[in-house]
Amino acid sequence: MKKITYFFIKTCPYCRHANRAIEELTAESEAYRDIEIERICEEENPDIVKNYDYYYVPCMYIGTDKIYEADPSQGYDEIRNAVKNVMDLALQE
């Protein structure tokens, strides 16, 4: 199992969707609860953020691979599916 690195902004509505998805998925599956998710607030950690290549948040990496970067057209269901995909990949590693 690999760690997920999750970049977010506190006031971002898409990040709120991702947070909700993480909460729901971990409530539904014990396997998801075991995944380590390092949450990095973009505004509070510019020194870390500068080492990663992304534009939109939420953004999730496994190791050095960007697995998910939000698109402003996405609604909750699309974000939840993307977060689930990242979590599923983390379990496979």
Cα separation of 20 and 30, whole Å? 16
**Which sequence spans correspond to the domains of the chain?**
4-92
pLDDT for res 1: 84
Q: How far apart are CA 89 and CA 46, in angstroms?
A: 27
- Which pTM does this prediction carry? 0.93
Residue 66 backbone class (left: φ over 0; alpha: ψ -120 to 50; beta: rest): beta
Question: What CATH number has the domain spanning 4-92?
Answer: 3.40.30.10
Cα(20)–Cα(17) distance, integer angstroms = 5
**pLDDT for 93:** 63
Instruction: Give pLDDT, residue 60.
Output: 98
pLDDT in tens, the chain (93 residues): 899 999 999 999 999 999 999 999 999 999 999 999 999 999 999 999 999 999 999 999 999 999 999 999 999 999 999 999 999 999 996
